[in-house]
Structure formats: structure tokens, C-alpha cells
Amino acid sequence: MEDNEIKICFLEEGEQVIEEMETLLLDLEQASDKKETFDGIFRTVHNVKGSARAVGFDALGAFCHELETYLLVYKNGEQEVTREVINRLLKSRDIIAAAFNVYKKDLNAVFDFNADFGAEGSGDEEASADAGGPGLVVGKKATSSNDGSVRVNLQRVDKLINAVGELVVLDSVLRQQSIKAMEQTILKTVEQASKIIREVQDLSMSLRMVPVKPLVQKLQRISRDTSTAVEKSVDFRVVGEDLEIDKTILDSISDPLVHIVRNAIDHGIEAPEERVVQGKPVAGFLELSFSQEGGKLVIRLRDDGKGLDQQRIVAKAIEKELIKTGEGMSEQQIFDLIFAPGFSTKAAVTEVSGRGVGMDVVRTSVEALSGQIDITSKLHKGTEFTISLPLTVAIIEGMVVKTTKENFIIPFTQVSETVKITDDGLKKGSESGTLLNLRGRYLPVYSLRELLGDKKAEKKNGIGIIAKSSRVDFIVLVDDVVGQQQIVVKPLGAELAGYKRFIGSGVLGDGKPALILDLAQLADEELKRVKDVE
Amino acid sequence: MKDSQKFLSFIVGSESFAVPLLKVREVIGMPEVTAIPQAPAHVVGIINLRGQIITIFDLRSRLGSGTKGEQPTVIICEMPFGQMGMIVDMVSSVLSAESEQISEVPPGSRAANHDFITNIYSQEDELILMLDVEKVIGRDIKVTQATSAA
């Protein structure tokens, strides 16, 4: 049963990949940068291969492997890509698409990759016609299975969310007007209506959020199959599988995660004999965690394997002509090399991790989501990948605070507590800055007005927000806390993207937009400014 | 059928300007604006347009008129990186410009110094300066490639 779900999932996702493959193939004839297009095709084939094997469509996987081998000759530029080659590749794509359609009708169908092509005719067209745009399955909860769910186009969900947002704003206007009208019956009806409107808002926003569980299941399966294939024993753990994340993010992060999980098992974790020599448990430790930190979705993959060997990476990069010398490179710069296209630390091509097409895809996908991927690694101790992604359309619980004129939003995830602050409770010094003694501990106090560039000195009365940050603890002083509300995070336009201190914006109860602050970033900028002055 | 293009003309200060109609998404009255601390020059703030957050740019101060018209209007424009609003003093009309009515900016004129003025439209005594919206904001706002793709 579980396996079937993964298979259905794969077939749904694969549709897009096949479409992409076709577009790329068609582009190939005209493309000026043939290499890039070809690399793209190679990646799509590699993706299908990997996922097909993972979910148990072995015949499809084998077919893709053959196709990959065929492609490799052209990828390395050994032979020119002619029209006939493209025709052949398009035919192969059609075979894969046909296989998908057969599998869709019967998950356990046997598809003959040599003969079935050509036999499929009108049935294929019919099937591809109703494969619409990006959709999502709306289920009740993580536990609900396929029954009782509806596929809805994602764009329609977004339109709904926007329309409901407008409704909420109008509702608060209506409420104010009805209070003025002083008509009890109207007031009562308006009250009832707003309750329902709030409910509709909550519901509509939850539609975009999908559980990570199916992805986790897929990764568990991949972990199992990969470790079996490479004859390693792996203890794969997942933390935070109940988290719900944005559908768009989930879709885009799925393939990259498959790649890094597979890489960690194949390249990261040592063979059992070696682990024994190293004094490590025979089973390799691999932990994948999903969490929400400071307005970011953070995905971590940690292993206790052999870690990244800087010398080997440099040597390999020189051999691959990615760099001329490793001298003067920082640890981080060296680690970054593994994301370069065409880089693979394993000398031999392995069945599992393939030919080094993985890591550059991972970085491209993460960056396409305006996310970031970081590596920390210690030789013989292990490696940790940290992928942090913006929540984009996700909803946050925010605190609405007041300074000078405008209101700002501070995500609850950044706040640990709030305290009332009076001017005489503060210690001030020209060298120490402003400090507050909080239960015996001195914490620096920044006024939000100052942080936002208002240079005028003012009285330090107000509410102190104690910020939760991984770097330093500090207090941000605001004039007042106006309230708290759920906020749909809306990204700021590209024209304001340089302003890192604003995570995004949200619409307040009165319909006015407000900026969402990143307190840690603000404090960092302030500290930098102080340093620059000195 | 003659070769004609449609433009939206508007007034800033004492002069008439126009932008290609295809770049215009809609025209709205002056909404409530939330200011952005330490924003780039001439960026007034952000507005909520039916649930969408849009940055507003003051074309009046950018073009040096400094006027605060009685009924300022915001023209929501389609930019390559998304939508942006431009505050103008007043929107005049949609004009169909025949190609012979559009001429080059006279070299040596003040307008020729501004790269954001692409052409001049003239009809009888009326003179309208054609604006390249992206170039107008380009001096104050740098759009980074990476984020505009997202």
C-alpha cells in the first residue's frame, strides 16, 4: 500500500520532468548554448532513472540508465548532436511517456520497452490531454489517504487566498462602519459574518500547505534501497516529519533531497569494515530534519561518515579544470566546489550516485527558491548540509509593533519574550551602549527607531522584545506592541530585494501593508555600522 | 490600417508624458502607503492592491517637479521584474500615435540629456514626452538578477 502511494507520487511528479525533457530536446536544435541544454536533458533522464529505481519501476530505471549511457557520448562532446540523434532522443522520451501512461493505469503493469512503442496511439494523447498544469492534492490531514481528496490547480488556490485576503480587509471596514451605525441587529450579523470570514481565511491559507510525510516516505525508501545497493548499513532518522510546508517548495526541494540523501549514503558513509576500523558503529547515522527557524524553513541532513576531504576535492577540481590552484581557498570555498557542474569525488561511476550530475542540481534548485545551502564537515566525523529556504507564501504568526509612524511585523519565531522597559531601568554608557539587566544578565538594547535609521534620540520607554537569535541575544525596544495576528507572508518586489532586514510584507487588519522585520539581520547591520565608525 | 501604437498620457508638474499602454496594468487613485525606512530615493512605500503588495515610486519628485497634485494618481506598470506603481499628478488620456507623429528627441535639447525620454509625440501644439519606465527608476533602484528570476 505504502509502495503504491510512492509510485503514484512518482508518476505525478514524473509528468513534469518528461515535459521538461521534451521542451529541452526541442530547444536543442536551436539552442545557442547546446552544452547547457544538453546538461539539462541529462539531468532529467538521471532524475527519472533515480526515482524510478527508488520506487520500484526497475525496468524504467534500466531503460533510463541505457539512455543515460547513450547520452554520455554526446554530453562530453565526443560526437556532434545531429538531427537524427535528437529524433532518437525524442522517441526515447515518448517511450518513457508511454510507460508512464501504462503504469498509471496499472501500477504493476509490465511495460516492454522494446516492443510497446508504436502500439500506443490514441490512448496516449487522451492521457496527456488531461494532465493539466501544476496541481495539488487537497487532503484533510497528513493521515488521510487518497480517498476524499480533490485535485485543484495551484493558481486557483492562490487566487482564492488573495480574494479571501481582500474579504478580510473589507470585513474590518464593514465592522467599523456598523459600529458607527449603532444598529444592534446589523452589528450582530456583521459579527457572525466576520467569524465565518476568519474561518474561510484560515482554511484557504492551509490549502497551500502540504505535509512533508510523503516526501519523507520516499526518502526512507531511497535510503533503504541505496544502502542495500552499496552494501552499507544505515540508520536513517527523520525529525519533524509532521511539518507542513508550502506545496511549491515541497515540489522543488524533493529531487535535491533525493540527491543529497543518496550521495550521503554512497559517498559520505563508509563501508562497514572501514567504520569498524574507525571505531564507529557499523550502521551509519543519517539524520534528516525539517524545522522552521526565524522565518525560514530549514532542512538539515547530517551524517557521521568520513566527511569531506579538502585535499581530494581540490585535486579533483584541478583535474576537472574547475580551478587552477587550491591555494588561498577557504574551507567553505573548497566545499563549494562540490556544487560545480561536472564535479564528482568518486573516481569510478557508481550505479547509485551516478556521474556527478547531482550536486549542481541541488544548488540550482535551492537557489531558484532564493534559498541557501551550506556545508559543514569534519574529516572522519561527518558532514552536515543545511538548506534554508524562505517561507514565501507561507503563513506566520506575527507580532505587530509600533514605532514612530508605521507599524512593523516581527515573526513570533524570532521573539522569546517581551518586557516593559522604563528609561531609568537602563544602564547607559558611551562604550558599553545601552544595556538592560534582565534577571542578572546584561543584554544590549537597540531601539527599533535607531535600527531603522531614525537618528533622533528619544526617551527609552516602551516594550522590549527579547530576540531569539542563533548568534547573540539582544533586546529591541519598540514604542508599543499593537497586537498579534496571522500573516500571509508576501514577498517584496525584486526592487526591494536588497533590503535583507525585511523578510517580506503582510497585510494588517486595517488593510494597510506592513513590513516584516528580520531582527537578527537588523542587529547584524547595526553592529557592522558601529564597527565601521570605529 | 495604419501603423499606430497606443500610449497612456499623464501630467507631471507642467509637462505631459506618456508610457506604452501595454506596460500599464491599471490606474488607481492614491492609496494608503506604508513607508519603507531608508528606502531608495523616490520610493514612497508599499501598498496593498487587492492582496498584492506593490512598491510605489514617486515620478513627480524623480522628474524634479516636486508637485503635490490635488488628485495624485498611481499608474501600475508591468516591469520585467514584477509590478510597480508610479505616482503622477494626473492621468490624461489614451492616445493612438501614428508613426509620423512620433519623432526623435531633438539633439541638444534638455530632454536629450535624459536617457529615459525615448521619443517625442506631437500633435498640433501639444508635445508629449515618451518615457522608458525602466530607465526612469533604474538610477535609484538596482534590481539584482538572482531575485528578479524568482
What ranges do the domains of chain A cover?
Answer: 2-132, 151-207, 210-390, 395-533
Q: What tens digit of pLDDT does each residue of A237-268 get?
A: 999 888 888 887 888 888 889 888 988 898 88
Q: For residue A61, how far is the Cα from the chain centroid? A: 26
Please report the residues numbered 2 through 31 in chain B whose beta carbons come closer than 8 angstroms to any beta carbon of chain A. none
Which class is domain A395-533? mainly beta
Please report the residues numbered 121 through 150 in chain A whose beta carbons come closer than 8 angstroms to any beta carbon of chain B. none
- Tell me the DSSP string of chain B: ---EEEEEEEEETTEEEEEEGGGEEEEEE----B--TTPPTTEEEEEEETTEEEEEEEHHHHTT-----SS-EEEEEEETTEEEEEEESEEEEEEEEEGGGEEPPPTTSTGGG-TTEEEEEEETTEEEEEE-HHHHHHTT-PPPHHHHH-
Q: Do B52 and A515 touch (CB under 8 A)?
A: no
- Tell me the DSSP string of A36-50: HHHHHHHHHHHHHHH
Which among A454, A497, A507 has CB closest to B51? A507
Q: What tens digit of pLDDT does each residue of A152-174 get?
A: 887 788 788 877 877 876 787 78
For residue A490, the chain B residue with the least C-alpha distance is B53
Question: Residue A127: its pLDDT value, please?
Answer: 36
Domain A210-390 sits in CATH at: 3.30.565.10
Q: Give percent above pLDDT 70 in chain A.
A: 84
- Tell me the DSSP string of A40-96: HHHHHHHHHHHHHHHHT-HHHHHHHHHHHHHHHHHHTTSS---HHHHHHHHHHHHHH
- Beta-carbon contacts of A269 under 8 Å, excluding residues fewer than 6 positions away, are A232, A234, A275, A284, A286, A303, A304, A305, A306
For residue B84, the chain A residue with the least C-alpha distance is A493
Q: For residue A494, list chain B residues with Cβ-Cβ distance below 8 A.
A: 81-82, 143-144, 147-148, 150
How many residues belong to chain A? 534
Which class is domain A2-132? mainly alpha
Q: In whole angstroms, give the CA distance from residue B99 to residue B2.
A: 9
Q: Does B50 touch chain A (CB under 8 A)?
A: yes
Kindly report the number of other CB atoms within 10 A of residue B3's CB atom: 8
Q: For residue A162, list chain B residues with Cβ-Cβ distance below 8 A.
A: 50-52
Which among B34, B82, B149 has CB closest to A513? B34
Q: What tens digit of pLDDT does each residue of B12-63 get?
A: 988 899 999 999 999 999 988 999 988 888 899 999 887 788 999 998 888 8
Under DSSP, the state recorded for A491 is P
| Mutation site, A495, A502, A521, A526, interface B, largest B CB count within 10 A | A495
Q: Does A370 touch chain B (CB under 8 A)?
A: yes
Q: For residue A496, list chain B residues with Cβ-Cβ distance below 8 A.
A: 36, 39, 43, 55
Q: Which helix (H) or strand (E) covers residue A375, if one does?
A: strand A372-378
Q: With left for phi above 0 and alpha for psi between -120 and 50, is residue B51 left, alpha or beta?
A: left
Closest CA to A431 of A524, A530, A520: A530
A523 three-class SS: helix
Amino acid at A308: L
Identify the structural domains of chain B with CATH numbers, from first to last. 4-139 (2.40.50.180)
Closest CA to A7 of A93, A91, A109, A129: A109
How large is the average pLDDT for residues A94-120?
Answer: 72
- From the CA atom positions of chain B, what is the Rg in Å? 16
Higher pLDDT pick, A176 / A203: A203
